[in-house]
Amino acid sequence: MAFTFEPLAIPDVVKITPEVFGDDRGFFLELFKSEPFTEAGLATQFVQFNVSKSQGGVVRGLHYQLKPHAQGKLVTVVRGEIFDVAVDIRRGSPHFGSWVSVTLSAEDHTMVYVPPGFAHGFAVMSEAAEVIYYITKQYAPDQERGILWNDPTVGITWPVTSPILSAKDQAYPVLAEAEINF
């Protein structure tokens, strides 16, 4: 079994494509295997697995947790398609305030690894989407923070024009006013 690891424009965020074995019965693939992930320099200690289901047009994010509860996330889609976004919120990083995106779908089985120090979110581009997150630190509600999904200084080009948002996601501050300890 093999994986292809492709660093994005911010090289700490990595698109992962697993090898898929298919025949007339269906397919088989490995979502995770510690040795190749370790060799690629990615996290291999996941402590929590999450699943979200969202209808088309939903935008979730941009979420992060403060240190020492900052989470790395391995994200994959098991139904539908999403436009997945990571924003570098590490002060002092040459990419601070920049974003990268990748389309993830159940059809092509792509994944993305988003390390700690990034705000993460996605837009659902299909009728619905089910997303699995492998997380490196447990969810700590008192450490959860976020930045406004459409912060003009970040300038994400979302594929949806009138997204469905939670009240919390609508109320997050812009990056310049967000609490960040990276």
Q: Which domains does the chain have, with CATH numbers?
A: 3-177 (2.60.120.10)
With b for 16 or more beta-carbon neighbours within 10 A and e for fewer, the 24-40 pattern comes to eeeeeeeebeeebbeee
Instruction: Judge whether residue 80 has pLDDT over 90.
Output: yes
Query: pLDDT band at 62, cuts 50/70/90?
Result: very high
For residue 117, CA distances in Å to 10, 22, 106, 138, 144 come to 12, 36, 26, 15, 13
**What digits encode the pLDDT tens for the residues 121-176?**
999 999 999 999 999 999 999 999 999 999 999 999 999 989 999 999 999 999 99
The reply to whether 133 belongs to the active site is yes
Q: Single out the catalytic residue among 64, 109, 133, 172.
A: 133
The reply to whether 120 belongs to the active site is no
Whole-structure pTM value:
0.95
pLDDT at position 161, please?
86
Q: Single out the catalytic residue among 63, 95, 109, 120.
A: 63
